[in-house]
Amino acid sequence: MSNSAASHGLEQWHGTTIIGVKRGDRTVLAGDGQVSMGNTVMKPNAKKVRRIGDGKVVAGFAGATADAFTLFERLERKLDQYSGQLMRAAVELAKDWRTDKYLRNLEALMIVADKDTLLVLTGNGDVLEPEGGIAAIGSGGNYALAAARALSDYETDPEKIARRAMAVAAEVCVFTNDQVTLETV
């Protein structure tokens, strides 16, 4: 993959799984805790999902940690600037991420949510509202997404769906572990 493609979030990130599940008035974000360097587990209990924006928004990241923290900080500023309106803040961040020379080089993907909205943000300038209220990113993202979609026909509790989907991803993806951080809005 070209460096340009990798710097715009097109590369499939290795080393994490983040899932967001929205059902009714509850949204859950869950992420595993494994940090890998090559084939070595460097840390088993990293926190990749956290609250931002005065606790009203939850965000999870896949990709370079320092880059993700930069994006969290930028998103928090946008939330302040736009009175906590997540969609507006996300669109403005995505514009900056795509056009700013510094931000354009950040290598991360994000899932963000508030009480009304679940979004995936990419360095391409994408602000995606997932079909069916389920989104997943990272190396185990496709496994978690498939599991969550299968469970969603039989389970209404977003926390149960997210936890089981993360367990499936941890069983299949060597870059994902079972040390889950979960936040609900």
Mean pLDDT of each 10-residue bin along the chain, 185 residues long? 40 72 95 87 90 93 84 93 95 88 79 95 88 94 97 95 97 93 96
Hey, which residues are catalytic here?
A: 16
Please tell me whether 147 is known to bind a ligand: no
Instruction: Return d(Cα 69, Cα 53) in angstroms, integer.
Output: 14
Distance of CA 133 to the CA centre of its chain: 13
For the beta carbon of residue 148, count every other beta carbon within 10 angstroms. Answer: 27
Give all domains of the chain, ordered by start, each with its CATH number.
15-184 (3.60.20.10)
pLDDT score for 36: 82
Please tell me whether 170 is known to bind a ligand: yes
